[in-house]
């Protein structure tokens, strides 16, 4: 994963996060699989960039549109923790 820098010198990392689990809905179990575009900035971007691909992580952040002209979501990560 690569880190780029904004004109102001802030580190930015963009990547894809894959979530897979089994969830209960309406009394039935179902498999859940989703891929999200993710954006991390600052120290979080540097830390995530050092994390090997395929690692299990827990993240906290917020969803937003990719840009003002886009309806596609991107997860902005504020915190992450390596699980495995």
Torsion, CA 47, CA 15, CA 56, CA 21, rounded to 10: 150
The helix or strand, by DSSP H or E, that contains position 44, with its residue range, turns out to be helix 43-49
pLDDT for the residue numbered 68: 83
Rounded Cα–Cα distance for residues 12 and 71 (Å): 21
Domain ranges, residue 30: 4-82
> Which residues are CB-neighbours of 25 under 8 A, at least 6 positions away?
none
Q: Which residue's entry shows tokens 């690692």? A: 55
Q: pTM of the predicted model, to two decimals?
A: 0.82
Give the mean pLDDT of 13-31: 94
pLDDT digits (tens, 9 = 90+) for 42-75: 999 999 999 998 899 999 999 998 888 888 999 9
Please, is 84 exposed, middle or buried when counting C-beta atoms within 10 Å of its C-beta (0-12, 13-18, 19+)? Answer: exposed
pLDDT for the residue numbered 4: 95
What domain count does the chain have? 1
CATH number of the domain where residue 20 is located: 2.40.50.140
């Amino acid at each position: 994963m690569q880190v780029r820098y904004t004109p102001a010198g802030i580190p930015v990392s963009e990547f894809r996060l894959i979530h897979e689990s089994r969830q209960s809905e309406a009394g039935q179990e179902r498999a859940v699989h989703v891929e999200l575009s993710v954006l991390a900035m600052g120290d979080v971007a540097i830390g995530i960039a050092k994390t090997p691909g395929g690692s299990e992580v827990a993240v906290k952040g917020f969803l937003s549109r990719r840009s003002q002209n886009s309806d596609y979501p991107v997860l902005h990560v504020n915190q992450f923790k390596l699980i495995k």
